[in-house]
Amino acid sequence: MLFVDILWKLLEIVLVAAVALPTTAALLVWAERRVSAFMQDRLGPNRVGPAGLLQPIADLLKFIFKEDVVPGHVNKAIYILAPALSLVPALLAFAVVPYARDMAILDVNVGILYVFSVSSIAVYGITLGGWASNSKYSLLGGVRASAQMISYELALGLSVVPVLLVTGETHLGRIVEWQAANGWLVLYLFPAWIIFLVSSYAETNRLPFDCPEAETELVAGYHTEYSSMKFALFFLAEYIHMITASALTVTLFFGGWHVPFFTLPEGGWGTTLSCLAFCAKTGFFLFLFIWVRWTLPRFRYDQLMNLGWKILLPASLGIIMLTAGGVALLAD
């Protein structure tokens, strides 16, 4: 039985990490191009396959067959390693997210701590990629990314503390079960969710917080000197980070796989329906990522830092104190 369990777990890892997440990221690229085209009253990709659905495959083939240029002035070892350092944490962070009832790749009691510890490593890939490129544009993008991600990780982490105070759990599955029994946490902790959502956009370097890439100032920032599949890995990492951030938003504040006013049966169809509910909620927040990108202009870098340090950080500390006080009063 142990061998069968190990084999099943390996199959689950392959299906989620090597198939589901990259495929979802590819479809997300297509969705972003189609949604942005709709918002701007243009067509978007519509030639390769029905409604342009095969465009991501055409883009992948282009990346594969492009010449893989390694500039002579780079630090070659770190230059090659950086894209993997950016992608792998994005895949690992998703491992503890319960994507259906009683289903997660890695079931650990400290799931939320695992997510933050693993996702914080991603900054090394971006920063080292910018430094190893030996280019002023890449270096500035890497420095911006490190400052931005460290700044907003503080607000992001602190915005989750009220969730831990209210539920008394760090296990993501049990946080979802608490919400199934007591109501979604967004109803109790709406300000904390807003801080978590804004910080997630900054952590994933998405507009209006894409200062590390800012084309008008930095050409493309930390990945200016990258081409072919190395650039594709950076590109893929950004979209998988979006998926993980959306999945965490759903898990922590919107009941995860729980469907309100409806009791899902145990096992079988119940597991399938819970997975579909989780995917639908995550899909909505992925759409929100796209919507915000094509609606709001980019922040200036000083505005971005002011928002993180002078507004979100004090606000998250205030919410922690209020939540702690409320929990203590209710406990008495």
- Residue 1, pLDDT > 60, answer no
Burial of 63 (0-12, 13-18, 19+ CB in 10 A): middle
Q: What is the pLDDT of residue 151?
A: 87
The 3-state secondary structure of 57-116 reads HHHHHHHHHCCCCCCCCCCHHHHHHHHHHHHHHHHHHHHHCCCECCECCCCCCCHHHHHH
SS3 130: helix
Label residue 163 by pLDDT band (50, 70, 90). very high
What is the pLDDT confidence band of residue 189, given thresholds at 50, 70 and 90?
very high
What pLDDT digit, counting tens, does each position of 234-287 carry? 888 889 999 999 999 999 999 988 888 777 767 677 788 888 999 999 999 999
Residues 195 and 282 in one domain: yes
C-alpha 257 chain-centroid distance = 18
Of 63, 86, 109, the one marking the end of a domain is: 63
Q: What is the mean pLDDT of residues 229-233?
A: 88
Residue for token digits 């406990």?
331
Same-domain pairing of 51 and 155: no
148 shares a domain with 182: yes
Do 9 and 83 fall within a single domain? no
Do 27 and 88 reside in the same domain of the chain? no
Residues 139 and 257 in one domain: yes
**pLDDT digits 0-9 by tens, 77-96:** 899 899 888 888 888 888 88
Percent share of the chain, pLDDT over 90: 29
CB-based contacts of 31: which residues, under 8 Å, 6+ apart?
A: 286, 287, 290
**Is there a single domain that holds both residue 30 and residue 90?**
no
Do residues 141 and 221 make contact, with C-beta atoms less than 8 angstroms apart?
yes
Domain check: are 115 and 163 in the same one? yes
Residues 300 and 197 in one domain: yes
How many CB atoms sit inside 10 A of residue 29's CB?
19
What would the mean pLDDT of 175-184 be, rounded to a whole number? Answer: 91
Residues 93 and 4 grouped into a single domain = no
Would the pLDDT of 218 be above 70?
yes
Segment 282-304 mean pLDDT: 90
Tokens for 314, please give them: 């004090």
Percent of the chain with pLDDT over 70: 98
Task: Tell me phi and psi for residue 103, to 5 degrees.
Answer: -130, 115
The total number of residues shown for the chain amounts to: 332
Residue pair 246/289 in contact by the 8 Å Cβ criterion: yes
Determine the pLDDT at residue 287.
93
Residue 8, pLDDT > 80, answer no
pLDDT on residue 3: 66
d(CA 193, CA 74): 41
With cut-offs at 50, 70 and 90, classify the pLDDT of residue 314: very high
- Report pLDDT for 332: 67
Which of the residue ranges 116-125, 178-187, 261-270, 278-287 would you say has the lowest mean pLDDT?
261-270
3-class DSSP assignment, residue 227:
coil
Q: Which two tokens stand for residue 56?
A: 């991501």
Alpha carbons 57 and 130: distance in angstroms, whole number: 28
> Which domain does 12 fall in, by range?
1-63
- pLDDT at 306 (0 to 100): 92
Domain count, the chain: 2
Residue at which a domain ends, from 34, 63, 92: 63
Confidence of residue 165 (pLDDT cuts 50, 70, 90): very high
Indicate the average pLDDT of the chain: 87
Residues 160 and 202 in one domain: yes
189 in the same domain as 253 = yes
Q: Enumerate helices (H) and strands (E) in the chain, giving the number of each.
A: 14, 0
Residue 100 β-bridge partners: 103
The domain boundary, picked from 21, 40, 63, lies at 63
Range with lowest mean pLDDT among 37-41, 101-105, 267-271:
267-271
